[in-house]
Amino acid sequence: MTIAQDSPARSETSAAACSVTFSVNGRTSSLVLDPRVTLLDVLREHLHLTGTKKGCDQGQCGACTVMVNGRRINSCLTLALMHEGDEITTIEGLGSPEALHPLQKAFLDHDGFQCGYCTPGQIISAVAVLEEIGAGVPSHVTADLNGAPPATDEEIRERMSGNLCRCSAYPNIIAAIRDMVEDHV
Amino acid sequence: MRAFTYERAGSPAAAAAAVATQPGAKFIAGGTNLLDLMKLEIEVPTHLVDVNRLGLDLIETTPDGGLKIGALVRNTDLAADMRVRSDYPLLARAVLSGASGQLRNKATTGGNLLQRTRCPYFYNTDMPCNKRKPGSGCAAMGGLSHNLAIVGASDACIATHPSDMAVALRALDATVETVAADGSERHTPLADFYRSPGETPHIETVLRAAEMITSVTLPQPLGGVQIYRKVRERASFAFATVSVAMVAGSVDGDIRVDRLAFGGLAHKPWRVEAAEGAARSAEAIADIVLAGAKPTADNAYKLPLVRRTLAAVIAQAKSESAR
Ligand SMILES: Cc1cc2nc3c(=O)[nH]c(=O)nc-3n(C[C@H](O)[C@H](O)[C@H](O)COP(=O)(O)OP(=O)(O)OC[C@H]3O[C@@H](n4cnc5c(N)ncnc54)[C@H](O)[C@@H]3O)c2cc1C
Ligand code: SF4
Ligand code: FES
Ligand code: FES
């Protein structure tokens, strides 16, 4: 399907707008967007879901981590237009202040943050990490590629390495995730 | 980011045709390298052709017992595939050593092969760089080059190729399949896919304009002990300073190196066939690998690092083959 075949759009300021429809936290959104808009910017600037953070905008920090069709990705390195029909889950869709996701509660119980800027990305990533271990997806530190990966601290650390924490709350982040291991893996 | 138009292709040949018709058009797959470079206006495509939903995300067994990996297979799915894990563990290990879980969920087989260098001056548009701006010079020579090439470079460019996956694929004798705008297909051995920098470091592969990668094919499994060891500046989520891909067998308690390729050393995945096919000490192998090496003052540390990493890999191969 050709979405836009308008002018070559070489100017710095304008590009032919395109429409896209996807669901965010169970709610369908239809948007008309400049093709340059990343999924991260659409979440924050257009849908005002500011839980997802912009740290580096280069795939290096993980603050922008969201789930797309159940898999975690960096929302800063993907175009919103590439997500036609996708189901996106952000930190706002995981739990609410009244009904926290168990991992959100574990982060509170273990002080898994200081400034909190990296926290939404950490929590989304951690939920996905537990699912990945449960599904048998191997990691760099998995000793036996043919077996099921164990939910050890070493595995969790390696799998969480795409989420940086400038406040270095790492020990407590690991403690919070470890709390969840018995329930979810 | 410069403005561009966007379309979703209907088939691989249609995607190639779409890129061929619009000057400055590019394919976009995972987007994890291209969008990063577009934000910095190092890549300035006028039109993006999205190749994500063309059914190229399958891994299939070939009639002769190999594996055909679709160009859009995500790095996570490639490394998690049971056939890859048991028959091509070198590839699974290399992929798992790269990037982060989030990035591997998006990064594709084709895009990974075509990712650009991480040379700091390629990324810094204020500095001369022959790869980014042909003829402008090379700021890395005499500048920060600690992570750049020690072999196979040229006077125009000393950049390294950053892919881990490509190093394993090179050791495993993979072939790259492509389709052109007129629908014609080609098979290129990975051995011939990447170019040496020479005077034209901006031309990195033998791909023609608008040629699209559709799959990567592995020959029959090699067996043997397969090791991918990546040395980097932190324990995870960093590019290789040196990486070694080795397939080895054992003869009378000695390790015979059947396949040997390196990452972090050269402009392309660096296979050293001269060191293959015999039992040699790590030192003797390193002598072959490093013959003709031309390090800078900044990256001369890679010479001993190659020796020590090889020694560690040989020792690991010994203990694994004794099991
Ligand atoms: C922070 C960070 C850390 C990283 N660390 C590592 C690491 O340690 N090791 C490592 O190996 N990699 C690493 N990477 C790189 C990552 O692996 C690549 O960005 C990724 O593999 C690129 O794949 P993609 O599908 O996203 O490509 P894209 O960004 O979509 O495309 C890359 C290029 O390939 C072209 N292209 C894509 N698909 C095709 C096709 N089918 N046919 C023809 N052309 C095509 C595009 O036009 C573009 O020029 C890292 C990346 C980041 C951001
Ligand atoms: S080494 Fe290559 S990529 Fe780096 S500045 Fe020189 S020409 Fe550019
Ligand atoms: S903002 Fe996306 S990884 Fe840092
Ligand atoms: S809590 Fe401050 S960056 Fe992680």
What residues in A contact B36, CB-CB < 8 Å?
58-59, 77
Q: Which of residues 40-59 of A touch B (CB under 8 A)?
A: 57-59
The alpha carbon of A178 and the centre of ligand 3 are apart by a number of angstroms equal to 24
Output phi, psi for A126, to 5 deg: -65, -40
Q: Which token pair is B213?
A: 């990668």
Query: What number is the average pLDDT over the span A79-96?
Result: 98
Q: How far is B34 from chain A (nearest CA, A)?
A: 9
Does the C-beta of A63 come closer than 6 Å to ligand 3?
Answer: yes
Best of B100, B106, B227 to disrupt the A interface (most A CBs within 10 Å) is B100
Q: Cβ–Cβ contacts within 10 Å for residue B69, how many? A: 28
Task: Measure the CA–CA gap between A121 and A109, rounded to whole angstroms.
Answer: 18
Q: Strand B175-179 vs strand B59-61: parallel, antiparallel, or unpaired? A: unpaired
pLDDT one-digit tens code per residue, B180-226: 999 999 999 999 999 999 999 999 999 999 999 999 999 999 999 99
pLDDT for residue A16 = 80
What's the topology of domain A102-184? DNA polymerase; domain 1 (1.10.150)
pLDDT for residue A8 = 38
Does the C-beta of A112 come closer than 6 Å to ligand 3?
Answer: no
Which residue type occupies A57?
D
Does the C-beta of B149 come closer than 6 Å to ligand 2?
Answer: no
Nearest C-alpha in B relative to A155: B236
Q: How far is B63 from chain A (nearest CA, A)?
A: 24
CB-defined contacts A:B, below 8 A: 140
Instruction: State the complex-level ipTM.
Output: 0.96
Task: Measure the CA–CA gap between B263 and B151, rounded to whole angstroms.
Answer: 11
Q: What mean pLDDT is reported for chain A?
A: 92
pLDDT for residue A15 = 64
pLDDT one-digit tens code per residue, A133-168: 999 999 999 999 999 999 999 999 999 999 999 999
**Beta-strand runs (E) in chain B:** 5-8, 25-28, 47-50, 59-61, 67-70, 175-179, 185-189, 212-218, 225-231, 242-251, 254-263, 270-271, 278-279
Query: A141 exposed, middle or buried (CB, 10 Å; 0-12, 13-18, 19+)?
Result: middle
Q: Which token pair is B140?
A: 């890395």
The alpha carbon of A134 and the centre of ligand 4 are apart by a number of angstroms equal to 27
pLDDT for residue A185 = 54
pLDDT one-digit tens code per residue, A5-45: 333 333 344 468 999 999 999 999 999 999 999 999 999 99
A16 to chain B, any CB pair closer than 8 A? The answer is yes
Superfamily the domain A16-93 falls into: Beta-grasp domain (3.10.20.30)
The alpha carbon of B319 and the centre of ligand 4 are apart by a number of angstroms equal to 42
Kindly determine whether residue B4 and residue A15, on different chains, have CB atoms separated by under 8 Å: yes
Number of the ligand closest to the Cα of A61: 3
Where do the structural domains in chain A lie, given as residue ranges?
Answer: 16-93, 102-184
Query: Nearest CB to B7: which of A2, A8, A59?
Result: A2
Does the C-beta of B175 come closer than 6 Å to ligand 1?
Answer: no
A154 to chain B, any CB pair closer than 8 A? The answer is no
Give the closest residue to B306 by CA, choosing from B274, B264, B278. Answer: B264
- Tell me whether domains A16-93 and A102-184 share a fold: no
CA angle B142, B244, B204 (to 5 degrees): 55
Kindly determine whether residue B101 and residue A125, on different chains, have CB atoms separated by under 8 Å: yes
**What percent of chain B stands above pLDDT 70?**
100
pLDDT for residue B323 = 79
Task: Measure the CA–CA gap between B207 and B197, rounded to whole angstroms.
Answer: 15
